């Protein structure tokens, strides 16, 4: 109960005098009525004053209780209540004084806190007079930020910290202010040293020492601007990065993708946002793979490795990726970030390189086998010819002819091996590839039968190529035969020739060719086609899809070797049931036509004739050495035999007579044939030189092409071919 409530209650219980007098009159009236009723009934002997005394006594006894209960008692109670009210009033006064004291202390503490907040706020703060614009108070941050002392600030106005050109805008802004709280935006301020910087202003109107003033908080934006610039640079770098970068929220929903994501995967940003990375699943991994993936991520670990994903159009993409949990400043995971590098082309090139290495290894093996086999065939064919010259018609002669025929077939096989291994001697010439293909069209038609329609389409202005005509003809015929076998029920075979420019995009996936002008020979059939696995192995030697006994598996590998040895490239494009297209790219020739130079087998037959010259034969294979000795002696030559280069040097230096011709193998233990020839030419400058080999080594040929001035005989050779070549070399006017 409050003091006022207690006093009010006490006052309500004190009756007014009018009420008390009225009450007393009523009481006397009833007493007098009672006495008047009683007096006539008193004994007559009683005197009159007895009645008066009785009346007075009765009146007193009646009025005393009435006075006590109606006047005295309420008055005493009211006095007690007044004392209590006074006590409560005193207590209330004491409480009020205590509260005022506490409020005053709290207000002073609050003022100190606000002053401390003002003084120690890291942001610059000040109070200025709205009328004079003079500074009324500034905090320490403002002094540090602007370079002025507290006293200097109090002698200045807010105009003094603005660049001169900004003051009109300031005054216009102040004049247009309304209300209390103001977000004044970003302004330029000037420090004491004259440097200009940007601040963000927030102001509020206050009463400061009975003055209308404005409290200002100024946030220096220098660090924020630097941070924004850093973030902008980072965002620009992420946007411009060639790496795929995308982010997800904690539930895996994509929240950001950079342009590289759109380029690599074909999803637009709008299509990707809100989706999960499941849109990239290629179907090549089971659920356990993705389960382990997410277990590591959710455990706070990073995940990195190579993965195959799927583009929007369904094509597969191989990427190296690193996925990390994305943490905020407090270390709480707010999502995941993935950085991926598209290595599809790199892996394709690596696969091509591995395939090339495999083909190269097989090629070296094939070349070595062909070389050794050619040495054996030289002996077989040579002695077969010797036998045939001495045998009369009959069973033995027929047997010798069968041996010779088998040897020729074996020699053809070794030529295929040499073509695949790029060790075959080529005779390049400038050719019109359209003429070559058109000239073979009739032969191709006879070869593949009437069921297949052959067409040749040559683009106008077709460029020339520099290659071996015979080898290109073999390429055309091998591809035609391959197409025929793919069309057992007939179809169409089209040869298309045109000029093309191979750009960096093509050469990026075909490391063996360089950008530039090429002539394209495309051979397309409507056959059964091939699946992807078959296409990967199509150029491997001895790989065939034909039945046993119906193919050696060397046809396309031979084509591959010839094309690459000619500086070109070959590719296959096929789908099961939709035919096949082989595309052969040969470098377009822009120089003058070269003079064709005859090599083994590329000249008219010359009569063997008889010889009288001396020939030094250097051959480490005893059987070939003896065969050559036999053939040359029968032809009338004087033969000097050497089993090694060292023996040949000894013979050349000690032989008393002339030596007209050096017939030497190319590859021998200890020294190669060209080096031996150089040494012997220093001893005998007039010496003629003829090289022979099972394959053309780099000592004679650069990448398979003969050096100018070198005479070469390819093994295996026949006695007639040997004598013809020797007469050709000895018959030249110049050594």
Closest CA to 373 of 337, 407, 344: 407
**Rounded-to-10 torsion of CA 25, 28, 30, 31:** 180
Which of 82, 113, 144 is a domain's end point? 113
> Is 9 found in the same domain as 108?
yes
Choose the final residue of a domain: 283, 317, 342. 342
Concatenated DSSP letters of 534-592: HHHHTTSTT---SPTTS--S-HHHHHHHHHHHTT-EEEEEE-TTS-EEEEEEEEEE-SP
Residue 140 lies in a domain: yes
Residues of the chain below pLDDT 70: 1-21, 23-24, 31, 35, 38-51, 54-55, 58-59, 62-63, 66-67, 69-71, 107, 110, 177-184, 351-371, 412-427, 505, 508-512, 541-555, 591-610, 694-709, 733-735
Residue 235 forms part of a structural domain = no
Residues, the chain: 735
**All residues at 6 or more sequence positions from 296 whose CB lies less than 8 Å from its CB, including other chains:** 302, 303
pLDDT of residue 246: 92
Looking up residue 188, the CATH number of its domain turns out to be 3.30.450.20
| CA–CA separation, 712 and 525 (whole Å) | 39
In a domain, 231, yes or no: no
> Are residue 317 and residue 434 in the same domain, yes or no?
no
Residues 449 and 579 in one domain: yes
pLDDT at 74: 73
Going by C-beta distance under 8 Å and a sequence separation of 6 or more, which residues neighbour residue 419?
Answer: 471, 474, 558, 561, 562, 565
Give the total number of structural domains in the chain: 5
Which residues, other chains included, contact 378 with Cβ-Cβ below 8 Å and sequence gap of 6+?
624, 627, 715, 716, 717
Residue 404 resides in a domain: no
Per DSSP bridges, beta strands 516-525 and 580-589 are: antiparallel
How many whole angstroms separate alpha carbon 458 and alpha carbon 496?
6
Farthest CA pair distance, the chain: 218
For residues 277 and 176, membership in a common domain is answered with no
Same domain, 537 and 679: no
Does residue 501 sit in the same domain as residue 630?
A: no
Q: What is the pLDDT of residue 510?
A: 67
Distances (CA, A) of 91 to 77, 94, 409: 21, 5, 135
Q: In whole angstroms, how far apart are CA 462 and each of 316, 354, 517, 585?
A: 37, 34, 11, 13
What is the predicted pLDDT for the residue at 122?
A: 81
362 in a domain, yes or no? Answer: no
Position 471 scores a pLDDT of 79
- The reported pLDDT for the residue numbered 646 is 93
Query: Over the stretch 659-681, which tens digit does the pLDDT of each residue have?
Result: 999 999 887 888 888 889 999 99
475 and 518 assigned to the same domain: yes
Q: Are residues 107 and 125 in the same domain?
A: no
- Tell whether 569 and 635 lie within a shared domain: no
Nearest to 242 by CA among 258, 229, 255, 227: 258
What tens digit of pLDDT does each residue of 622-631 get?
A: 888 888 898 8
Q: Identify whether 409 is part of a domain.
A: no
pLDDT, position 233 = 81
Parallel/antiparallel/unpaired status of strands 452-458 and 491-502: parallel
421's CB contacts (< 8 A; 6+ apart) are 362, 363, 364, 366, 367, 370, 561, 695
Q: Is the torsion defined by CA of 106, 110, 113, 115 positive or negative?
A: negative
What does the alpha-carbon distance between residue 617 and residue 644 come to, in Å, rounded to a whole number?
10
DSSP class of residue 486 equals T
Range(s) of the domain holding residue 249: 241-342
DSSP 237-299: HHHH-SSEEEEE-TTS-EEEE-HHHHHHH---HHHHTTS-GGGGB-S-S-HHHHHHHHHHHHT
> What are all long-range contacts of 621-629, with beta carbons under 8 Å and residues at least 24 apart?
621/375, 621/665, 623/375, 623/376, 623/379, 624/375, 624/378, 624/379, 624/382, 624/665, 624/715, 627/378, 627/379, 627/382, 627/383, 627/386, 628/382, 628/663, 628/722
Domain shared by 571 and 453, yes or no = yes
Residues 6 or more apart whose Cβ sits within 8 Å of residue 11: 78
> For position 17, what pLDDT does the model report?
60
Domain endpoint, select from 199, 224, 249: 224
Provide the CB-side half-sphere exposure for 31 (13 A, CA).
21
109 and 126 share one domain:
no
Residues facing residue 546 across a β-bridge: none
- Whether the CB-CB separation of 587 and 517 falls below 8 Å is answered with yes
164, 219: one domain: yes
Cis before residue 694, ω within 30 degrees of 0? no
Helices (H) and strands (E) in the chain, counts: 22, 24
- Looking at the domain assignment, is residue 176 inside a domain? yes
Domain assignment present for 390: no
């Amino acid at each position: 109960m409050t003091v006022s409530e207690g006093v009010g209650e006490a006052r309500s219980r004190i009756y007014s005098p009018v009420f008390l007098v009225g009450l007393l009159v009523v009481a006397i009236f009833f007493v007098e009525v009672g006495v008047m009723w009683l007096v006539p009934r008193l004994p007559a002997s009683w005197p009159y004053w007895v009645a008066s005394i009785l009346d007075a006594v009765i009146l007193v006894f009646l009025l005393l209780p009435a006075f006590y209960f109606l006047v005295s008692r309420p008055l005493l109670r009211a006095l007690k209540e007044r004392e209590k009210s006074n006590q409560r009033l005193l207590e209330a006064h004491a409480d009020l004084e205590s509260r005022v004291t506490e409020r005053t202390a709290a207000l002073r503490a609050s003022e100190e806190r606000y002053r401390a907040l003002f003084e120690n706020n890291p942001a610059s703060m000040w109070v200025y007079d709205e009328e004079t614009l003079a500074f009324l108070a500034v905090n320490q941050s403002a002094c540090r930020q602007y370079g002025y002392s507290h006293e200097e600030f109090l002698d200045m106005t807010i105009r003094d910290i603005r660049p001169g050109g900004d003051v009109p805008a300031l005054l216009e802004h102040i004049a247009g202010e309304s209300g209390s709280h103001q977000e004044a935006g970003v302004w330029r301020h000037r420090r004491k040293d004259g440097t200009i910087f940007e601040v963000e202003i927030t102001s509020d109107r206050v009463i400061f020492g009975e003055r209308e003033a404005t409290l200002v908080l100024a946030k220096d934006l220098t660090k924020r601007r630097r941070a924004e610039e850093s973030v902008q640079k980072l965002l620009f770098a992420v946007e411009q990065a060639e790496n795929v970068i995308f982010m997800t929220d904690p539930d895996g929903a994509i929240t950001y993708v950079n342009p590289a994501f759109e380029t690599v995967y074909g999803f637009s940003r709008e299509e990707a946002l809100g989706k999960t990375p499941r849109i990239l699943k290629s179907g090549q991994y089971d659920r356990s793979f993705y389960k382990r993936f997410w277990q590591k991520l959710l455990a706070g670990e990073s995940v990195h490795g190579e993965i195959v994903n799927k583009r929007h159009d369904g094509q597969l993409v191989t990427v190296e990726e690193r996925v990390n949990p994305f943490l905020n400043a407090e270390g709480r995971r707010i999502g995941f970030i993935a950085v991926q590098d598209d290595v599809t082309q790199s892996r394709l090139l690596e696969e091509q390189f591995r395939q090339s290495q495999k083909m190269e290894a097989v090629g070296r093996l094939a070349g070595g086998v062909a070389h050794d086999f050619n040495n054996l065939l030289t002996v077989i064919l040579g002695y077969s010819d010797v036998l045939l010259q001495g045998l009369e018609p009959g069973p033995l002669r027929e047997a010798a002819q069968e041996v010779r025929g088998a040897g020729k077939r074996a020699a053809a096989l070794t030529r295929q091996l040499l073509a695949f291994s790029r060790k075959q001697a080529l005779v390049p010439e400038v050719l019109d590839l359209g003429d070559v293909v058109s000239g073979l069209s009739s032969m191709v038609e006879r070869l593949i039968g009437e069921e297949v329609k052959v067409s040749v389409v040559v683009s106008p202005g077709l460029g020339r190529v520099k290659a071996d005509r015979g080898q290109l003809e073999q390429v055309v015929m091998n591809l035609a035969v391959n197409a025929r076998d793919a069309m057992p029920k007939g179809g169409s075979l089209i040869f298309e020739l045109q000029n093309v420019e191979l750009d960096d995009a093509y050469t990026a996936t075909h490391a063996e060719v360089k950008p530039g002008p090429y002539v394209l020979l495309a051979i397309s059939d409507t056959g059964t086609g091939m699946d992807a696995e078959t296409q990967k192995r199509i150029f491997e030697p001895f790989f065939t899809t034909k039945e046993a006994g119906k193919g050696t598996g060397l046809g396309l590998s031979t084509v591959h070797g010839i094309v690459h040895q000619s500086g070109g490239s070959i590719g296959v494009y096929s789908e099961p049931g939709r035919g096949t297209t082989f595309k052969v790219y040969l470098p377009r020739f822009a120089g003058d036509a070269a003079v064709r130079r005859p090599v083994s087998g590329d000249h008219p037959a010359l009569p063997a004739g008889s010889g009288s010259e001396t020939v030094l034969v250097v051959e480490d294979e005893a059987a070939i050495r003896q065969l050559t000795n036999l053939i040359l002696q029968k032809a009338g030559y004087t033969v000097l035999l050497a089993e090694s280069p060292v023996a040949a040097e000894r013979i050349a230096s000690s032989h008393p007579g002339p030596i007209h011709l050096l017939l030497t193998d190319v590859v021998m233990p200890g020294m190669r044939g060209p080096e031996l020839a150089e040494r012997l030419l220093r001893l005998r400058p007039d010496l003629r030189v003829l090289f022979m080999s099972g394959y053309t080594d780099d000592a004679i040929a650069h990448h398979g092409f003969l050096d100018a001035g070198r005479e070469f005989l390819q093994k295996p050779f026949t006695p007639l071919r040997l004598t013809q070549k020797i007469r050709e070399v000895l018959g030249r006017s110049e050594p």
